Structure 1
């Protein structure tokens, strides 16, 4: 297509640069287009406790028939930082001092802060290969990613025209290394205003943009659910071995042309009040 346009039309400057600039500044494209890039934000490792295995959970498995002679239970210790577990043979008659001796002998001896640092460094190097660094400044305007839901209309549109980002919103503050606080409108007061950098997209401004923020009934997890408001038509769908009653449903925030056919029995189970009308 580029070669055809170049041969048939005269362009005063670089065509590719002008088209790329136009698409990057297009307000609809910024809200609708899918990101074909690596996820933003490098891995942020959890802080290492000052002492080995400081944050742990414990459990006991009692009455095991195959434990070695002299032991009747297994002490399960899980490290919440590295998500690793150890299974130690103990007795139910052990005192606290005996449990402490087993803990020091098996856990503290095998695991220490240098081991955890090495594991975190290796994990971060692997994860950052599939991520890209991204930072914003206070005062920048960004879009917020919306969580997609299959089969549910999002803000009155579906399919390829469904907006994947809403906004733009101003950045008020930087929280930590990867999180930002945004200035959300009053109708989004139920949504927590701190977002990870992976949920943000930079807004590229243009004087031709007309920014209108329509009121949206967002859930706290940034999802939007449509509800049926009217039955427009009924018919029977004939299959090879059976017949299915289907109805044409008009959903809220949709036009009549966007009404969808749904199984009648399924809609009765989910929206019985619709048939009571």
Structure 2
């Protein structure tokens, strides 16, 4: 039985099933009560299934433990950055790390890999030479 039929006690009237000959159903108080009970039963089953999935997921996540092992050779370097009144700082190119030529249909563009002040080598960006 499809969920729509389970919830409402009748087949869906979507264009997919218009070719079926469906007799009109007269809804009385008892039929409405039966539908309410079916909906309640289906919701209980769905909630139980969700709780089981959640419980299984919690069990799998509990098995993982993380432990930090300190390494005295790994020391972070403190870098002081001077901020202006608007709490911003100026980014200035510190070093050019690499150079390449990017060819397009309309010509060539020279790109430079720039290391910026207050950034690591991994954060260097490719910039057009004219900038």
Greater share of residues in strand: 1
Greater share of residues in helix: 2
TM-score above 0.5: no
The TM-score with structure 2 as length reference comes to 0.41
The TM-score with structure 1 as length reference comes to 0.21
Higher relative contact order (CA 8 A, sep 6+): 1
Between Structure 1 and Structure 2, whose CA radius of gyration is higher? 2
